[in-house]
């Protein structure tokens, strides 16, 4: 096993990644801790440990790890993209927007980052910009049910009910088991 004292930081990182992929987030965090105690400069380990914390709802720990990854490697688009939703959950919307803008500067074809950016802009009540971000996400990933639902929510916010209805219907056609899209459709009809 990997419990040998001579196990390298890279082996611990690989074990952590495997545990994370298997859904053992707590075990993964422990293995990332071991990897980072041996080599604190493992930028992917920091980003991935942050992701594990995020998935467990530990947004402060996630933000600390992911921000550290962005400091070690300012050109790591994945870390900036992870930082956005993490800061969003901490209600630090302006910082979240900055992180997502940086992610998109590094990788403008990232549909998920465009979708996340739309969510942040919605919280900032910048609905037209949010719609443009969702449109960009959908241009890149037309089958993204969540982006269609988010687009519809933003259309509802600015009272474009007919457009919202079409977007909710598109979301439902892609994922018929999404209760929020059905509720949104009902609201758009009323």
**Predicted local confidence at residue 6, as pLDDT:** 59
| pLDDT greater than 70 at residue 121 | yes
| pLDDT greater than 90 at residue 76 | yes
**Predicted local confidence at residue 186, as pLDDT:** 93
Average pLDDT over residues 36-49: 96
Average pLDDT over residues 7-33: 96
Verdict on whether the full-model pTM lies above 0.75: yes
46, 36 contact by CB (below 8 A): yes
Percent of the chain with pLDDT over 90: 94
**Predicted local confidence at residue 3, as pLDDT:** 56
**Predicted local confidence at residue 11, as pLDDT:** 94
Alpha-helix runs per DSSP H in 127-178: 127-140, 145-157, 161-174
52, 28 contact by CB (below 8 A): yes
What does the alpha-carbon distance between residue 108 and residue 92 come to, in Å, rounded to a whole number?
23
If we measure between CA atoms, which residue out of 98, 100, 64, 68 comes closest to residue 82? 100
Top pLDDT among 144 and 98 is at 98
| pLDDT greater than 70 at residue 5 | no
Whether CATH 3.10.440.10 fits 125-190: no
Average pLDDT over residues 147-156: 95
| pLDDT greater than 60 at residue 139 | yes
Average pLDDT over residues 50-76: 98
| pLDDT greater than 70 at residue 4 | no
Give the CA diameter of the chain.
65
The answer for residues whose C-beta is within 8 angstroms of residue 42's C-beta and 6 or more apart is 9, 10, 13, 35, 36
**Predicted local confidence at residue 7, as pLDDT:** 74
């Amino acid at each position: 096993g990997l419990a040998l004292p001579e196990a390298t930081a890279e082996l611990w990182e690989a074990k952590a990644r495997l545990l994370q992929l298997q859904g053992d987030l707590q075990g993964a965090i422990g293995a990332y801790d071991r990897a980072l105690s041996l080599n604190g400069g493992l930028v992917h380990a920091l980003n991935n440990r942050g992701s594990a914390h995020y998935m467990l709802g530990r947004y402060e720990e996630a933000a600390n790890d992911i921000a550290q990854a962005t400091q070690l490697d300012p050109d790591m688009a994945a870390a900036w993209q992870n930082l956005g939703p993490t800061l969003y959950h901490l209600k630090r919307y302006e910082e979240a927007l900055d992180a997502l803008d940086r992610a998109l500067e590094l990788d403008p074809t990232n549909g998920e980052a465009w979708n996340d950016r739309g969510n942040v802009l919605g919280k900032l009540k910048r609905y037209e910009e949010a719609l443009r971000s969702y449109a960009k996400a959908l241009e890149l990933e037309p089958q993204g049910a969540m982006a269609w639902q988010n687009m519809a929510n933003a259309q509802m916010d600015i009272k474009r009910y007919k457009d919202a209805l079409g977007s909710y219907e598109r979301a439902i056609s892609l994922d018929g088991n999404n209760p929020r899209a059905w509720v949104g459709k009902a609201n758009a009809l009323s």
